Amino acid sequence: MRMHDPSRNDPVIEQPEPVTLFLPVLEASLSRCGIATTRAELIRRFMSGEPRVLIVAGARDHPAQIDDDEVSKRAVRAVWERGALPFETSEPAVCDGIAQGHYGMTFSLVSRNLTAAMLIGQIEAHAYDAALLLDSCDKRPVGDLAAVIEVDRTRRRRGRKPFYAAFLPAQVMPERHLSKELQDGLRALKGVAGPAVDEEIDALLLHRLKCNTYAMFKKLLDGLEAQGHLAGERRDRFLSEIAQMTCEAGGTCAFIGTGNTDKVVLHAMGFVPRGAELLTKAASDAVVGNAVDALLDAIRNGREERSAARLARANLHNALTMWSAVGGSMNWLLHFPYVAAALGVRLSPTEVADLSDRTPFLIDIAPSKDKSFFTLAIETQAGAHSGLDSSARHLLEIGLLQDAETITGRWSVRLADALPPNDAILFRTALRPQSGIVEVRGNLTDSAVFKRAGLTPEALASFDRKVYLAAFYLGEPEAQADLFHGRVLARLRGEVAAADVRRLARVNFGAAAAALDAVADADVVEQAARLKLLRCIVVIAGEGPKANGIPEMFYPSEYLNRDPVLRHVSAMITDGRYSGATYGPCIGHASPEALEGGAIGAVRSGDWIWMDTAQRRIDVLDPAASLRGEAFSPVALAAELLRARPEVAERIAWLRARRLDIPPTIRLLLDATTTCQQGVTPLGLDLTEAL
């Protein structure tokens, strides 16, 4: 060993200070793990150019990161035992569930970009060779992925060695049914508020408890209290007992949300070692050891094809395919262009939608049938299949997955002994021929998207090629309150003539609309909804990336989904984002956003809106031109007339004033990003390559 040997072509080794300052850092990590060594050995490894591996854990105020301390210790031991140098760091992460429905959601998506910036700075300033990322949920895994890609690409541009990365996703959060006593108590509430509420109680009792299930129970019980069917003290007791049984341990929530979609995408990108993507407990010594082995093998054997950027570029198409096949979170429709931009690749929602048209739907996540990501993880651990490798093998066999490198070898080699899907949750026979998303355009938006995988073909048909009555909201809070308290139909009643409700019922449903002829004008909106002879679209504007950080409209969509009447007749469109499934289309990411003059900010309650998914259209109609006598043919209102409405300027002024409530540092970051169509990515990236 020669001290500060320049022949190693490692500028950090050549400098005098790094080794001295790294010594106490390494000693502290090793001591925490019960590893005794000498400073001489630390210096020997550093000066000999042994790999410097950064172990990236998460801050402990996120439920999917609370076990990271123990996993990080396992990783330190694994790296040290294999002759390399382990370094530990940790990152904060916004939990979307904790931030959900209030001001905190403004900071969720921008935390992705902050995560990438912070990790890039740490890796480059301290000159690590590789990263083992203990990743969790929501936006942090995406930021980490973009970070390791950018580090690898810029190092190669500078003529330095490649950068390598492997990901260990957090375990899936366990879930359980309510106790028999609580179930019996809730069943006793049946019969007091009508058959629709009884149906809702039966449906909820089929679900295992998750954070979003608790939200469903709260809406149900609050509604019963508001109607005088449940005393406040009893309501509180129910909620307290249900809350105590929910989220009993750490991990990613078991529904097909962002956390589990992150697992799917990171796996399909090739960054997750075999058997590590669907865990029921925090990663074991064996799981961590496999990841460290893969990293060190790539570094020591110069496997440049497995560097971070090359893995991601080789598997970008595969990740889009897997995401489509499992109907993953719509948040990733913003993340894919962001990750692609880190690679220098242009990617639009149109391209993603086209790919999803070619991808079959191959997963049956059905919480009411005890089919969740937790039960999928249990099946994986029990050997019923090989987890996501089973789906990857099937997609490879039918020609939809490209045979690219992963951190542990090419897919064709890795999947050679993978078990096939067992047709319980993961399927070989397509549940539906198309998955993924639908993009719609029109005078209402240049681009907006909804999740086709969340809708049955029958549900989609019942909402397609219909005229909707708009219920407009500027900002989420009022929409959330009206949906929670069941006031949306009352809002429509105040804006829509009874004659128009009857006319549109005839347009949408033909002779069946005669059932409304004898209904009093004052009751026609509510009765049309009960008879499913109405189509309503809740429009939430002013929640785009520049205006408010593009928060997730979880509670509005969830409350719409749990309304026993409205859910069968309503859709939603927003310039915010959303995740999950609804009975009718939930359309998000409308661009341009209202703050930038997008037509979604010009809609009025009572407007007629037409959607035709076959034509990928959504338009505000000109009623007089569209309906002449009994003949209907949709005619879009001239875009210039729509955007010239006087309330547009008033609404933009209100949104600009509201923006002042966002801290200036965050506002600057939001201003320096693109629209939803480009994934809310940093401005000025050089996107030279097409997908």
Structure-token match 């109609």, residue found = 621
Buried b (16+ CB within 10 A) or exposed e, 440-451: bbbbbbebbbbb
Alpha-carbon torsion angle 562, 566, 570, 576, nearest 10: -50
What element of type H or E holds 28? helix 17-32
State pTM to two decimals: 0.94
Strand pairing category for 85-91 and 586-591: unpaired
Q: List the beta bridge partners of residue 89.
A: 56
pLDDT of residue 562: 82
Distance CA(53)–CA(74), nearest Å, equals 13
Distance CA(548)–CA(576), nearest Å, equals 9
420: DSSP letter: P
DSSP string, 192-251: SS-HHHHHHHHHHHTSPP-HHHHHHHHHHHHHHHHTTSS-HHHHHHHHHHHHHTSS-S-S
Distance CA(387)–CA(166), nearest Å, equals 18
- Please name which of 69, 82, 79 lies closest in space to residue 134, comparing C-alpha atoms: 69
Structure-token match 């580090």, residue found = 151
Give, in degrees to the nearest 5, the angle at Cα 388 between 383 and 393.
95
- Please name which of 34, 151, 144, 129 lies closest in space to residue 85, comparing C-alpha atoms: 129
Distance CA(686)–CA(483), nearest Å, equals 43
- pLDDT tens digits, 293-318: 999 999 999 999 999 999 999 999 99
131: DSSP letter: E
Residues of the chain with pLDDT under 50: none
Strand pairing category for 627-628 and 617-620: unpaired
- Residues 536, 473: contact at Cβ < 8 Å? no
pLDDT of residue 426: 96
Tell me which CATH code domain 437-659 carries: 3.50.30.80
Distance CA(597)–CA(599), nearest Å, equals 6
DSSP reduced 3-state for 685: coil
| Domain spans of the chain, in order of start | 50-174+253-414, 180-244, 437-659
pLDDT of residue 581: 58
Q: What is the largest CA-CA distance in the chain?
A: 96
Three-state SS annotation for 505-531: HHHHHHHHHHHHCCCCHHHHHHHHHHC
Q: Tokens in use for 35? A: 């590893």
- Residues 266, 141: contact at Cβ < 8 Å? yes
Strand pairing category for 536-541 and 570-574: parallel
Give, in degrees to the nearest 5, the angle at Cα 467 between 464 and 473.
105
The number of angstroms, rounded, from the C-alpha of 477 to the middle of its chain's C-alpha atoms is: 21
- Residues 683, 570: contact at Cβ < 8 Å? no
pLDDT of residue 257: 85
Distance CA(548)–CA(290), nearest Å, equals 42
Architecture of the domain whose range is 50-174+253-414: 3-Layer(aba) Sandwich (3.40)
Give, in degrees to the nearest 5, the angle at Cα 183 between 180 and 184.
85
Give, in degrees to the nearest 5, the angle at Cα 130 between 669 and 21.
85
- Residues 109, 146: contact at Cβ < 8 Å? no
